[in-house]
Amino acid sequence: MDTRDSSGLPFMKMHGLGNDFVVLDGRARDISVTPALAVALGDRHRGIGFDQLALITRGGAGDAHLTFYNSDGSTSAACGNATRCIARHIMDETGQKRLTLTTDRGTLQAVDAGQGLTSVNMGPPQLDWADIPLAEPMDTLELPIEGAPTATGMGNPHCTFFVDDAESVALEQFGPRFEHHPLYPQRTNVQVASLIGPDHLRMRVWERGVGITLSSGSSSCATAVAAARRGLTGRRVRIDLDGGTLQIDWRDDGVWMTGATMHVATGVLTADWLATV
């Protein structure tokens, strides 16, 4: 779509536990998302504002294909909370209880979990250094970084620090310090997590290309996998984030994430605003 189209551009605003998204539906019309459009839309003062931008297109082998953009204009292969939000939207739209969604991460299954909750299988975690990816061969369980974090891939790279008190970490300084660590050639999402009970974690998130977010689905999956690998929890855990709670279940077929979603509003980006992009 030419963003100068006089009809404007419809959009939806959604969030999963405060992790917020602008969603563009390109199933019925062609929409071209450029880095400049993503950055402009992500501006919370002059645009709409989001943690991620998601584009829905026709699915081919699945019910829909999803492409994700960060607020700095870069792309991400995975965004768990956005996937759950869009899955809920399509379920409500079609009456389906199960969906197949394709992403750059791969093919993901989504199901209606009842009581307004939506579950998505984010696929198997990537545990080998080359798949995450890291810059050189190493054990991903404890990286040679201060704090000995665990590296995990969920279609995007993650670096999880287990600390005594996640609340006490100055994430606004801590996050960017490790997002750009040389061991992560594609940068990384950064999590700080503390164990607060059996199979119960408190986690805070710094997302690459975004900053501090109230919630992150792929970060929650990565943290659950890291905690299980380190013997801190079992494979089914509750994770409390700044924006709410997710249930993560690392099964044989992948890492399932379950939680609430919200469709906040539907609107139209005006032709005048699009002409400034």
User: Does 156 count as an annotated binding residue?
Assistant: yes
93 is in an annotated binding site: no
CA 177 from chain centre, in angstroms, equals 20
Apex CA 214: angle with CA 142 and CA 19, to 5°?
110
Chain centroid to Cα 268, Å, comes to: 24
> Is-catalytic flag, 79?
yes
Q: If DSSP codes are grouped into helix, strand and coil, which group holds residue 166?
A: helix
User: Alpha-carbon distance 91 to 145, whole Å?
Assistant: 43
Does 191 count as an annotated binding residue? no
**Residue tagged active-site, from 79, 85, 159, 221:** 79
Question: Is 121 within any annotated ligand binding site?
Answer: no
Beta bridge partners of 195: 201
CA proximity to 205, closest of 235, 250, 255, 246: 246
- Residue partners of 143: CB distance under 8 A and separation at least 6: 134, 149, 150, 151, 159, 183
Which residue, 170, 172, 225, is CA-closest to 201?
225
Annotated binding site for substrate: 19, 52, 70, 80-81, 156, 189, 207-208, 217-218
Annotated binding site: 19, 52, 70, 80-81, 156, 189, 207-208, 217-218
Q: Which residues are part of the catalytic machinery?
A: 79
